[in-house]
Amino acid sequence: MILPPTKYNSIVVTMIPALVPLNGSPWSVLPPGAHTANLEEVASAFATNAWRRELFGGLILASSKLKEAGCTKIFLDGSYVSGKPIPGDFDACWDPAGVDPVTLDPVFLDFSNGRAAQKSAFRGEFFLSSMTCVDVGKSFVDFFQIDRFTGQAKGIIAIQLSTDPLLFAKVQS
């Protein structure tokens, strides 16, 4: 008897890896690398209390505005993607490739007063991924992958705005 070929499920699941302790850092962090996730996965992993959900709401608003301007990718960092129970905010950087400067909300380029306008609008801070962080002489996407307490490598979250299901649903409605 000849059996038919076995069919396999071809669904690909992405998961945010578990946080890991980093000797000398007060909170656990993502393992090194840029871990691809969508916004729903970010919510599931990090919007775990009322304050974190409020921060996530700001991230959604900012992500929608960036996507409308043509941004395809952001990188999420800061204590929001760590084990810190009550992070102060979130930090993100965005890829400027393909962004229409006319459509871009000017708040994303307002770095005055410690980025007060960004924090007021979104509860987080945004930098261009290619912009150099003068404190360390690295682009923000690289700077974000260094733990500020230890100088060791740590991870960030990469979010593809152009294909994110949560943002696609918002645009279609």
Mean pLDDT for the stretch of residues 123-141: 94
Amino acid sitting at position 118: Q
Summarize pLDDT for 29-80 with one digit per residue, the tens: 999 999 999 999 999 999 999 999 999 999 999 999 999 999 999 999 999 9
pLDDT of 169 strictly over 80: no
Sign of CA dihedral 35, 61, 93, 154: negative
Provide the mean pLDDT of the chain: 91
Question: What tokens were used for 146?
Answer: 């260094």
End-to-end CA distance of the chain: 53
